[in-house]
Structures are given as C-alpha cells and as structure tokens.
Structure 1
Amino acid sequence: MDLIPAPTRLLAAPDDTPFTLDDSTLIDAAPGTEGTARWLRATLGAAAGLTLAPGTDGPAIRLRTDGALAAEGYRLAVRADGIGITGGGPAGVFWGAQTLRQLLGPRAFRRAPLDGTAPRVPCVSVEDAPRFGWRGFLLDVARHFMPKDVVLRYVDLLAAHKLNVLHLHLTDDQGWRIEIRRRPRLTEVGAWRTRTKVGLRESALWDERPHGGYYTQDDIREIVAYAAERHITVVPEIDVPGHSQAAIAAYPELGNQDVVDTAALPVLTSWGVNPNVLAPTDSTLRFYEDVLTEVLELFPSTFVHIGGDECPKDQWRRSKAAQARIEELGLADEDELQSWFIRHFDRWLADRGRRLIGWDEILEGGGRAKGRAAAENDEERREGAQAPAGQVTEHGLSPGAAVSSWRGYAGGIAAAQAGHDVVMCPEQQVYLDHRQHGGDDEPVPIGYVRTLEDVYRFEPVPPQLDGEQARHVIGTQANLWTETLDSVRAVDYLAFPRLAAFAEVAWSRLPAPGLRDYEDFTARMAAHYRRLDALGVEYRPPAGPHPWQRRPGVIGRPIEGAPPIV
C-alpha cells in the first residue's frame, strides 16, 4: 500500500470491492473526533470535490475512540460499505485519517479535484501505534525568517508524516522572531539586520538587502491553534545565555558592558558561534522572566526550550562583574556560572508547571550544584521568589528537566543515566541542513554527507542504555538550521525526502534491532514522491538537484569522514 511511515500491521483484501467516496458519503463522528471530521472535510473533501456531510445512515467514514488502544494508536478498516477509524484518543483518530489519505492516492493531497472521477479506497485493515511520543522537527526561523504561511504549511507537512512536535527556534544572534509586549524593542530592533552573509563565514558574498520579520502574538496563537487541531505541539525556543546578540542589540544592558561596548552591537549579520553573551545579572534574569511569562501565555506546551548551547565564556572571564558574581555565588568557574543561569530557569519553569528542555550543554558545570540547591532555595525564598524544594540530579538540574542531545549520543546517554528524559537529535545523523550527497552540485554544501538511506538507518536509542534508562528516550527530532537557507524552496530541498525517512524512524517499530528494510522503503517512496509533488514540495530528486536548486559559487563547509550511523 506504499504507506509512509510503515504501519505496525496491514492486511489487504485485494479481491474485495473498494469503497468509493461520492456525494452520498457521510462522516459519522463520535464525541472526541470532531476535529478529525473537520480536517477530513477540509482536505479530502476539497481534493475530491465532496461535501462529506455529517450523518449516520448510509455509507460513511465512521470515527470512534477506544480507550483500550494507545492514545496515538488507531485501527483503520476499509470495507465495500464504509470506512471505520478508531483511535485510542483524538490523536489516534487523526493519524488514522492521515493513513486513509495516503490510501486514496496522490490526488488526495491536492486542494481541488482534477476531474470527476470518484476516489476509491482499497479494502484493507490497519493496526498501528507510534514507537515514540516525541516525533519532532526543528525549524529555525531566527537565522532566516519564515513567514507565518510557511510555518503553517510545515505544520501540515508534519501532520502528513505523523510527526507531532514542531520545535520553533525563535531567537538567536541574527534575529528575534516573537513579539514580547513588555519588551517591545526585541522586535522593533532585534528582528531586523542590515544585511546577510551568503553562505557560511568563509564566503566573501553578502546579500545587501535588510532582512527580518517576526510573529505577532496573534500569529503565534494562530500557529499554536492550527497545530493543536492537527495534534502537533509547538515547542518554543528562547536561547540563553549564548546566541543572544539580537536581544543585546535591542537592550544593551543585557550584555557584558564592562568588557564590550554593547550599545554598538548590531543584530548579527554573519554566522557561527558568537562571543557576545548575556551578562549574569539579576536584571538579566528578570528580563527573561518577563519574556518567558509571555511565552507561557502563548504556548501551552509542557516543555519550553531555553537553548543553553554554544556559550563562549571569554567575556565572563574578562568581566569584573561576572567574576564578582562567581565569587558571590561560591561557584568554581564560568561553566558553573552558566549552570547557575540555566538552573534558575529550570526552577522558574517548574514553579509554573512547565518543564525545561535544553541542548546537552545544560548538563555541564552542574556537578557541585546538588550540594548548593537547598541553600539557593532558601536564599530565593528570602527574596520572595517561589523556589521549589526538591531533589536535583547529579547535574544540578531538577528531575523534570530534559535534554536535546545534539553533539552525538553522549549527552543523551549521560542524561538518561542520570534520570533525565532525552530527545535524541544528534548532529551527525539528523541535522537536515547537512548535505545529502558528496557531489559538486549540492547547494551550499555543509557538514557531513547524510543520504536518505543514512537518515533511514538512524537509531535513536543507543545500545549503551539499559531498559530503564532507554525509557528516558522519549523521542527523536530532526533539526533544520537555516543559515544557508533563505527561502522555503531551499528549506524544502534539504528537508525532503529525508524527513519522510526520519518520520518512519520516529513512528514505526522495528521487528528487531537494526532491521530496517531500505529497499522496501525506497519502493514505497516511489509513491510518496507523487504525494510530495501534489503537495508542492520541492524535494531533492533521487538523481540529484534540478539546475534551479543549485547554488554555484556559494561555498559551504563540507566535513569529510562522517562518523558511523550508530
């Protein structure tokens, strides 16, 4: 049936008469399935030119829930007299509807009917449930701003592949992309840069056009609601204490003013790890508490990502104010100072019923923090803050803090062994901005070669974890950073078809460790390419880039000798 991701169990009845969708087809939606009914009318109804009216008497698509199934699991049964989709919850029903759409063929992925032919669905029985609860995709809208319609389009593309987390990277040195009403200069100043490096730092090319943009709070509410209707959680990332020059450009007092003229810092126009980081002051903490207060009002996600990666310590070493803070807090060094910064927001989010998630650097510098946790809590209570009592792990973080493991598997292994939940997203395997082929025609080639097959063979759970530790791997995520991606066409090229392979890694359970049938996957991709065509996705063709997908003369930074997949 060419389904992607592959379901757990599929039985076809090729001799039975297919079910035909026509003007008499109804949607019989039980309580809890109304969202999927709306989606079916808006997508399949539009593609087939059908009303799909509500009703119970006659041929119908019948939507039900059954608590005996896993929450995101579903059963799909197609018979000559109707279609039944039963999910363990509303999300399961929705994923079953996504499978139905694939069974209807590529035309079901268009927005209007091509002719008057009635769609036919083969008789089939599918039982399915996901392997991981977190099946994520990071879209970096900070380096190159992606307008709201692009984000909404990617929500639909994630839904079509049964991915359920959109990680929006909203702030960085090169731009601040979310309206914060308490701090208006973040978007008045921080959302705009004067020009942009074309390629990476080694390139001599510049795009001299100003670049920028941001999402209003109503835009964010719309994105979050649109995603929720498709059972996708939007996780915001507000980067601290590194990757913060756009914020410092807007509010110079956030920077280390005793070592650099922060008033002269612009929103960064180039790329790379940047030395201009946040000052470790109480006023900086209060500033970001204001930011996160509004973020929590907009995003209902349990997890809030605070970055925590690539924070050079040179300015803190040179700053008398930062050194005084280290001494005041009884810290050993600048690594512990960063840990103190992260742990503050770990506790702050926990007080509000949320969970911090950060890149694997948040594990560093916290080794001595466990013994200081009680004293710090007492101090914060004296200051009127609501510091939670409770345990911390060996890394100084609360047990509820989670880790995005990007620098290989090591951070995720250490986090899981310490009892933290982990989202596996190692750069060497699932950074989709890395080049897809070693050929000279690849546009702005950066990073390792990671082919469609490489991504398909990625295993999120490392063998070093025992059974209890492995349960802390709550999911996996593919990340797409946009330093070299200045348009949605460029984003499409690097995301697809590899995101389809990743979706199967995240959803489909293996019959045994290491048993992924790439030949079977590529055979199913032949049909899936036609679905992507119907959706208007400008993916990389198997034979290589089209001429208009190349970027001759724009150098990248290819890395040779890629590490093994597992």
Structure 2
Amino acid sequence: MAEAIHDSRRPGPTDGTPYTGVIPEPRHTALGPDGHYTLGPATVLDAGPGAEGAARWLRAVLGAATGFSFPPGDGDGGADGVLRLTVDPADPLGPEGYRLSVTETGADLTGGGPAGLFWGAQTLRQLLGPDAHRRAPLPGRTWRLPLLAIEDAPRFRWRGLLLDVARHFLPKEGVLRYLDLMAAHKLNVLHFHLTDDQGWRIEIRRHPKLTETGSWRARSKFGHRASPLWDERPHGGHYTQDDIREIVSYAAERHITVVPEIDVPGHSQAAIAAYPELGNTDVIDTSALTVWDNWGISANVLAPADTTLAFYEGVFEEVLELFPSEFVHIGGDECLKDQWKESRAAQSRIAELGLRDEDELQAWFIAHFDKWLSARGRRLIGWDEILEGGLAEGAAVSSWRGYAGGVAAARAGHDVVMCPEQYVYLDYRQDAGPDEPVPIAYVRTLEDVYRFEPVPPGLDEEQARHVLGTQANVWTEVMEDLARVDYQAFPRLAAVSEVAWSELPAPAERDFGDFERRMAGHYRRLDALGVAYRPPGGPHPWQRRPGVLGRPRDGAPPDG
C-alpha cells in the first residue's frame, strides 16, 4: 500500500508569503527550510507546570488519531523526538497567545497561559493534516509537521457562537460536539439560548413545572411560520442540572465560557404555560396557554409584578450556581407590549413607578436584574432592545439589529458584542438557488461573512475598546436536527472564527481567494470531524428540503 503523507506545506500565494493552511490564520508564520519533523511511536510529550490540561487533551486526540501513546518526557526527547509544552505568563503575546517552533527533532509550543497553550495545540493538530481530526488511526499514515515558527494571539476576547436549543432541542451529546468544533476554531464563548416561547431547557429545582410542562410542545411548525406544514410529533427535552455541570466543565477544559440566556420579559410563553400566574392574567386566560408550536414573536409576555421578579430571582439563583461566567444574558428582545397596554395592573405599575410608557417599564424590568446580578458579582448582557427606555448601568449589549445598537452602547461607555443579523445570523440562507433548504431572509455567503468587520465605523479609539468581540448566532426554528445545524453553521463558522481571531485588513482588502484556498484543506478536516457542512457547489440531494416554505428576502440587507 502506498504511504499517505500528511504534509501541511501547501503551495504559497503568488506573492510568495508563507502559507500553512491554518484557520483561523495565525498572526505571523515563518516557514523554515525544506524538511519536516516526523512523529512516531516513540515521540514523547514533555509538559511543564500549567501545561497539564493541554497535554491531556493532545494525548487524547492525537493518541486516538495516530495510535501513539505520547508518554511523558524528561525534556530530552525520545527516538522519535519530543513535543514540549510550556506556559510562560511573562510572554508579551498575552494569556491567549502562543508560539510554536518546529525543528527536525521536535516541536516546542509555548503559551502565555493555559488557554494560549491550548489554542496552539489546535494549530499543531491542524498542521498534522485532516486525519489528525479522526477518532481512530487509519493505515499507512505518516505524521509530519513542516519546519516553521508561528507567533499568534487573538484580536478579540469574545469569540462566540450562540446555540439556540429552545426552538429545537439539541441533546447533551450534540452540545458537547459543538464545544469540540468551537475549540477546533479557537472560539471561546458559547452563548447558550436556553429558554423561549417554544421550550424551557434547563432544570430549575424550585420550579419543576418549567421542565415538566415547559420543556415540550405538542407539535412544531415545519418551515417558516407561513408554511402549511406541521411536524405532528411532540418535541422536547431539557438538561438536568448535572447535565449543565458536565457541559460547563467540558467547555472549561477547552477554555470556553458558557454564557446562559434566560429570556425576560418577552419570549416567555413556555414559562407562562408552566406557571400561568407569570402572565398578564387580567388580559387573557393564561391557564389556557400551552408551549408555543409556531415561530415568530409571541404576544404573551411576563407581567411586571413583584411576584414575577421574585420567581425569576429564584431561577437566576440556581442559574448562577451552575454557570460561573462573568456575564448572564437576560434576552430583553422582541417584547411585544400590547398586553401591557391593555393590562390595568401593568398601567398601574407604570404610574406607581413614575414611568412614561411601556418602553420604560421594560427598562425598569431589565434594570432590576442588572442590579440583582451586579450585587452577586455578575454582569448583565442583553439584546440591543435593552437600550430602549434607557440602558441599565453596568449592562453590556449584544448588537443584533445592525451596527446602530453597538455604536450607541459603546459611545455611552457600555461593552458590546457585535452580532449583526446582516452578517452573522447563520440561519440566513447561503445562496439564492432554488435548492437551498428552507431559505430564510437575505443571502449571506461565505465571502459576505468573511468580509464582516466587528468594530463599527465611526467609533473613536476609546469607544472601540468597548467592543468585546463578535459571535455568530444559530437560531434553530428551521433546523430540526443536528445535520441541519451543521449545514447552516459550516463553512461560515470558519469565516467567523477568522474574523474574530485574526488581525485582518479592512473588509474590501481581505484576500478571500487565500481564505478559499485554505478552506479547500479545511473541508477535509470538517469531513474527518463528521460535519455535515454545505458544500461549496451547493447542497447534496439529502440536504435539500423541497416543498418546505421559507421566507427569502431579496436585495441587500439594510445597515449591511
């Protein structure tokens, strides 16, 4: 059998600059002379203080792919050389930066902290070739690293992915898989959208009906909400508190922070179906409500009552015990105010508080939890609608309706995560072709995502420092299973990772051709990882959804 050699040294761009095929692209790469370092059964792994986590991860993934054991070394190396892992807190690249040097006798990987070392380990794995991402060794493989030196560090501290598990539940194993995929792309924040009108996904022990009733719906709309099709099967599921602890721990081992989202005061019909007293009982008979089986924005929102605040304080107390993240997301978006306008109780609360209108009532609701979270050492973050009626002190903003919310928040001195729908909503269709499954909104191609710039124009240097970073949002109304999530997320999530990590030029000056060339190799990595991505030439026949109505929109998106 002919020997398959895994060699990451690819033909370089026409200008002769170094080219390694790594995604996201490192800050600086210098290729050495021709030649390679070849790993073998006797390769040792020498881990210094602070490097234990990265060493454990490398042994697990590279051991599975190569069949080598990578025993501990004493610094001298074995017959097949050495992989040295070092943490150097004094490194000017910072705690998430790393340096990788490969010679003919081994590889030295140094991180400014354990996180930087882990990101460098991801680069090393990529350089070994696509089959380094498999879970068992294939015959006839030789594992080579090119001789090179890399210096790398991220541009942004928040490099995220929102995973909506409320509309379509993603079992725990699917979440763990996505944490691995995030780590492979150096993404470090999982925004975990746990509650919505269509389902409540987290166990709250003092309020058991939230999952007993609120975690499942009788049926689901199939396609856009205007579609005549229904999936008549009950849909549901939730994570126990031990499931959440496992997810958070698994993420932490991969230097990923899990930020929970518990939506208030809108997107709350599942909670009201479980506990009708949470709703506006003087407007409708909330006891007749069920978990919503359709998509869109429900008119059923939380009542602005002290009992509602106390109920959610109890929810957040348990949430804080499970998630150690600095930020807690409270939603705050798309809260229809029709019931508040009709509710005597809500109008009395507006008068009692001396507020002008329902927008200020929502701001009061958000401000209550901003103060409550701050008193417990946490920070509130919400969608840009929390700007309406006045932004709570200390709150951060997820800017989704374009750049405007992010600009307003940053100019007011608030931190911002940029996730404008015009670029990084991955439920939006990827092509205008008729075979695109359940086409939603505007076309957002791989190139469109690659040319996204997270720092809004018009911010001065001080204001721009409030941009914590960016994230892609995967809303799952039309994603009924993991394969559909894969199709919508990839390959565009690879572009998001480069936008979030790499120091790229202005959008018009970015070399998308080079990114496409690197993606040619990256598709093979995704194949090895079992990702059901959208092929560059269009969907496979089994990825199409003929006859399932979407909601395509033509032209360029506004504020894009």
Q: Which of the numbers 221, 224, 228 marks the counterpart of 1:200? A: 224
Deviation at 1:116, TM superposition (A): 4.4
Supply the AA of the counterpart residue of 2:552: P
Name the TM-score, length of structure 2 as normaliser: 0.94
2:222/2:230 contact within 8 Å kept: yes
Determine which of 534, 550, 557 is the counterpart of 2:528.
534
Separation in 2, partners of 1:139, 1:409: 21
Q: Deviations over 1:206-232 (max 9, x none)?
A: 000000000000000000000100000
| SS of match in other structure, 2:444 | coil
Cross-structure match for 1:485? 479
**1:14 Cα deviation after fit:** 4.0
Pick aligned residue for 2:31 from 12, 20, 27: 12
Identity %: 73
Q: Deviations over 1:360-393 (max 9, x none)?
A: 0001112xxxxxxxxxxxxxxxxxxxxxxxxxxx
- Aligned equivalent of 2:172: 148
Q: Which stretches in structure 1 are left out of the alignment for 5+ residues?
A: 367-394
Matches of 2:194 and 2:141, distance apart in 1 = 44
TM-score (norm 1): 0.93
Please say if 1:433 is aligned against 2:427. Answer: yes
Q: 1:357 to 1:79 in 2, by over 3 A?
A: same
Show the 5 A alignment for 1:247-396.
Answer: 247-366=271-390, 395=391
On the 8 A contact 1:429/1:565 being kept in 2, the answer is: no
**Separation in 2, partners of 1:179, 1:359:** 24
* Counterpart code for 1:49: G
Which residue does the alignment assign to 2:402?
408
Counterpart CA distance in 1 for 2:292 and 2:532 is 30
Q: Distance in 2 between matches of 1:281 and 1:51?
A: 60
What amino acid maps onto 1:83 in structure 2? Answer: A
Match of 2:462 in 1: 468
CA contact (8 A) 1:201 1:271 kept: yes
5 Å-filtered alignment, 1:222-233, equals 222-233=246-257
2 CA distance for matches of 1:362 and 1:30? Answer: 46
Pick from 482, 494, 515 the counterpart of residue 500 of structure 1: 494
Q: Is the 8 A contact 2:453 2:506 kept in 1?
A: no
What is the distance in 1 between the residues matched to 2:480 and 2:234? Answer: 13
Pick the aligned partner of 1:554 from 532, 548, 552. 548
The secondary structure found in structure 1 opposite 2:523 is helix
Q: Residues 180-219 of structure 1 correspond to what in structure 2 (within 5 A)?
A: 180-219=204-243
Aligned to 1:377: none
In 1, Cα distance between equivalents of 2:242 and 2:107: 38
Q: In terms of mean alpha carbon deviation, does 78-87 or 56-65 score higher?
A: 56-65
In structure 2, distance between residues paired with 1:539 and 1:182: 40
User: Does residue 555 of structure 2 align to residue 545 of structure 1?
Assistant: no
**Residue 515 (1) aligns with residue 539 (2):** no
**1: CA distance between counterparts of 2:95 and 2:442?**
37
Structure 1 residue 117 displacement after superposition: 2.8
Superposed CA offset, 1:458-490 (max 9, x none): 011111101100110010010010000000000
Corresponding position: 1:52 with 2:70: yes
Give the RMSD, CA atoms, in angstroms.
Answer: 1.0
In the alignment, the residues of structure 2 paired with residue 116 and residue 181 of structure 1 have an alpha-carbon distance, to the nearest angstrom, of 53
* 1:37 shift after superposition: 0.4
What SS is found at the alignment partner of 1:12? Answer: strand
- How far residue 513 of structure 1 moved from its aligned partner, in angstroms, is 6.4
Give 1:515 deviation, angstroms: 2.7
Q: Are positions 1:21 and 2:13 aligned together? A: no
1:378 is aligned to none
Distance 1:84 1:487 in 2: 41
Partner residue, 1:241? 265
Check the 8 A contact 1:142/1:176 in 2, yes or no.
Answer: yes
CA shift for structure 1 position 140? 0.3
Paired AA for residue 360 in structure 2: E
Question: Which residue identity lines up with residue 432 of structure 2 in the other structure?
Answer: G
- Give the drift of 1:123: 1.0
Once the two structures are superposed, what CA deviation does each residue of 1:186-243 show, in whole Å capped at 9, x if it has no partner?
0000001000000111100000000000000000000000010000001100000000
Amino acid at match of 2:72: P
Q: Does 1:64 align with 2:86?
A: yes
**SS of match in other structure, 2:263:** strand
What letter matches 2:467 in structure 1?
V
